[in-house]
């Protein structure tokens, strides 16, 4: 009796093995390869989406890249916005001699001084100060904002960071703060000048800041679109090892 039970049990096992093997044979090669891919993907923590295999690291890197670009754009265009606000505030005063609203027209000598001031500010402030030094520094420093290594404050105050007002070398911060303070003092003094001398100086300021704003936009476009970042030193603080 026991021997007959064993034979029947063995026979059932053989039938089950034959059914499993036949089902595997009937499955197409594509189904077999898909199941093997899914099993290996699940084992390695992969996700298959739209025929492309992505990992958690890929998604994290993509998010970091978006944050880096956003911080860089905020840093660059935030500086341009600050300059644009200054231009908007000074431009009506610079154009006052030509608006015909009660202001005395400029004499020939004053008109020549007006033009020379605009050209001088455009060259000294716009070209020498912005295009050759400050503008590439702003774009370069804005591109050093990286998720994981840059702090939240640096991202939040990206325009000031890009201007080198903090988290920079000691020399860079001294220069940046000195220029900022000096400009504020000059603006306060120029406001006390009588007509038309204040207007002449403000016209030069508009020319210099306008040139500088355009240079920042052009350098940023060259960097972001054509992947040609400025080669200037961002003047970041040197990390000291303990």
Identify the pLDDT of residue 53.
55
Q: Look up residue 7 and give its two tokens.
A: 């034979």
Q: DSSP assignment, residue 149?
A: T
Encode the chain (242 residues) as per-residue pLDDT tens digits: 444 434 444 445 444 454 444 444 444 454 445 455 444 444 444 454 445 555 656 566 666 789 999 999 999 999 999 999 999 999 999 999 998 776 788 999 999 999 999 999 999 999 999 999 999 999 999 999 998 889 999 999 999 999 999 999 999 999 999 999 988 898 889 989 999 999 999 999 999 999 999 999 999 999 999 999 999 999 999 875 54
Closest CA to 212 of 183, 181, 171: 183
State residue 183's pLDDT score: 87
Instruction: Please give the structure tokens belonging to residue 153.
Output: 């404050």
Task: Provide the pLDDT for residue 103.
Answer: 78
| Domain residue limits, the chain | 2-44, 65-224
- Number of other residues whose CB lies within 10 A of the CB of residue 107: 10
pLDDT at 45: 47
pLDDT of residue 101: 75
Q: Which residue in 125, 114, 85 sits closest to 215, CA to CA?
A: 125
Res 54: pLDDT: 53
pLDDT computed for residue 37 by the predictor: 44
104 within 8 A of 196, measured Cβ to Cβ? yes
- CA-to-CA separations, 219 to 76, 91, 123, 191, 239, in angstroms, rounded: 10, 24, 17, 32, 28
């Amino acid at each position: 009796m026991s021997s007959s039970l064993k034979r029947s049990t063995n026979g059932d096992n053989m039938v089950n093995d034959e059914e499993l093997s036949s089902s595997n044979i009937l499955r197409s090669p594509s189904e077999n390869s898909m199941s093997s891919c899914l099993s290996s993907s699940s084992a390695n923590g992969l996700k298959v989406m739209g025929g492309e295999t992505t990992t958690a690291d890929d998604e994290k890197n993509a998010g970091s890249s978006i944050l880096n670009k956003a911080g860089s754009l905020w840093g660059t265009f935030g500086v341009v916005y600050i300059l644009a606000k200054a231009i908007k505030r000074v431009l009506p005063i610079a154009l006052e001699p030509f608006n015909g609203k009660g202001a005395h027209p400029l004499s020939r000598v004053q008109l020549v001084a007006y033009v020379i001031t605009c050209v001088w500010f455009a060259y000294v402030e716009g070209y020498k100060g912005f295009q050759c030094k400050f503008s590439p520094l702003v774009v370069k420093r804005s591109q050093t904002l990286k998720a994981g290594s840059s702090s939240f404050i640096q991202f939040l105050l990206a325009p000031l960071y890009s201007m080198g007002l903090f988290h920079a070398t000691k020399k860079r911060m001294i220069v940046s703060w000195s220029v900022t303070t000096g400009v504020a003092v000059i603006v306060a003094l120029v406001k006390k000048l009588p007509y038309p001398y204040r207007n002449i100086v403000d016209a030069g300021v508009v020319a210099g800041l306008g040139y500088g704003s355009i240079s920042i936009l052009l350098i940023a476009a060259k960097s972001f679109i054509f992947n040609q970042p400025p080669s200037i030193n961002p003047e970041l603080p040197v990390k000291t090892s303990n």
